Amino acid sequence: MGFYTLVASFLCTIVLPILLFLAAVKLWEIYIIRGRDPNCRSPLPPGTMGLPFLGETLQMVLQRRKFLRMKRQKYGFIYKTHLFGSPTVRVVGADNVRQILLGEHKLVEVQWPASVRAILGSDTLSNVHGTQHKNKKRAILKAFSRDALELYVPVIQEEVRCAVKGWLQSASCVLVYPEMKRLMFRIAIRILLGFQPEQIKTDEQELVEAFEEMIKNLFSLPIDVPFSGLYRGLKARNFIHSKIEENIKKKIQDGTDERKHKDALQLLIENCRKSAEPLSTQEIKESATELLFGGHETTASTATSLVMFLGLHPNVAHNVRQELREKGLTGICCEERALSIELLERLKYTGCVIKETLRINPPVPGGFRVALKTFELNGYQIPKGWNVIYSICDTHDVAEVFPNKEAFHPERFMTKSSEDTSRFNYIPFGGGSRMCVGKEFAKVLLKIFLVELTAECNWTLLNGPPTMKTGPTVYPVDNLPTKFSSYVDN
């Protein structure tokens, strides 16, 4: 009797729960597959849907690129999964991505996960559609015109030079990634939001910490309970909004000064006054927060990657300095290094270094859409209402137009033919009507950073090549400890 009791106990406590769990997973798969459109004969893409309700969100958040690479290798360029509470199709490769990006408003429309919409706001540029999107985009693009960018150059130079000076004076190693986030944050709140240097001194530490907390919880399960990721992200967001609101009130009180350049926040406020459908203060705060995220988090990621790649490839740093020397930008005091948009455009090789960095380490791994109707993509059906994620990093990884893809080879972008063949194979800024509005600002900022850095510094990566992770932008796990020393032009 004792033996049979032991067997029964084992079956009830171990085997039965496992069988119930497997049955639940199978029922979950069947439930999701019932979501396919019966009017479309094409099958759903291959793939798995993960755990009931949770899907594969936890694996994706914890493993990021490892998870995505494993999925791609197993299922190919189009596969189904379940992420952030929704059935999702992930799309890789230039031909597939082209249909998604050019299918905006016809096949798909932008829709970020619920946690992103809750934290950044549902009325931000990346989430609105139609006329509202066009009007907001038009207002923000004024802040990134050529004339506006020219006015930003000395501000960017001032901040970069101050940071570089600090790195050179540091007796110990510099943790590059946190330093880049701080530098790019200062630049963004000065140029995009119009914060004055004295304001930054007062609020910088609190703002940086709040922004870190917000970004860390941007992609989280959509559960708003105390101590959850979404709860912490919203709390940090509210603090950032309070500081931006102070700046909005000050700008409205001070009025317009035609002698000064207008930051993106000022242009949004002015656009509200002229618009038949003015934005509320809450909508302006949300738009400003989105600009701050797009304007500093992605550039901090790419600037860190630039330090990493040039540290690993000193021949590339040498070639950058050679180009700077030809333009008279080395061997002089940094205050004499007067940059302009026209001069930056002539730094072709330096621009190619940035392009190659964005090819290998695009800061944003992909973009989110939702299917407006059931449609076919390369033999598979994408059901109406399912999320669609187009992958930037994987599309770059599989692009056959770039030979020897693993190598860091900026020269590949020196020929015009490379530019022509890379459309949709090379999409660090997205594409179509949703292409990043700050694309030209990012290029100018990164070029100025690279000029000032290579003209003034040599550096050594103390840990060698780092492990890179994504969360939500690409970053080195070890924060890239680096030793900087002065460069002397011979």
Binding residues for heme: 436
Burial, 224: exposed, middle or buried (Cβ in 10 Å; 0-12, 13-18, 19+)?
middle
Which is nearest to 450 in space by CA: 364, 356, 366? 356
- Residue 451 contacts residue 159 (beta carbons within 8 Å): no
Which is nearest to 380 in space by CA: 19, 47, 14? 47
End-to-end CA distance of the chain: 91
Residue type at position 349: Y
Residue type at position 468: M
Q: Which residue has the tokens 């992958």?
A: 391
Q: How far apart are CA 215 and CA 237, in angstroms?
A: 9
Q: How far apart are CA 469 and CA 86, in angstroms?
A: 24
Going across the sheet that includes 174-175, the strands are 174-175, 481-486, 457-461
Residue 51, SS3 per DSSP: strand
Strands 481-486 and 174-175: antiparallel
Q: Which residues contact 82 (CB under 8 A, 6 or more apart)?
A: 32, 49, 50, 55, 56, 57, 88
Binding-site residues, in ranges, read 436
Tokens of 359: 């090819």
Q: How far apart are CA 227 and CA 244, in angstroms?
A: 25
Which is nearest to 396 in space by CA: 374, 371, 429? 429
Torsion of CA 474, 70, 109, 443, to 10 degrees: 30
Q: Which residues contact 156 (CB under 8 A, 6 or more apart)?
A: 187, 191, 444, 445, 448, 449
Q: Which residue has the tokens 């993509």?
A: 377
Strands 387-391 and 86-91: parallel
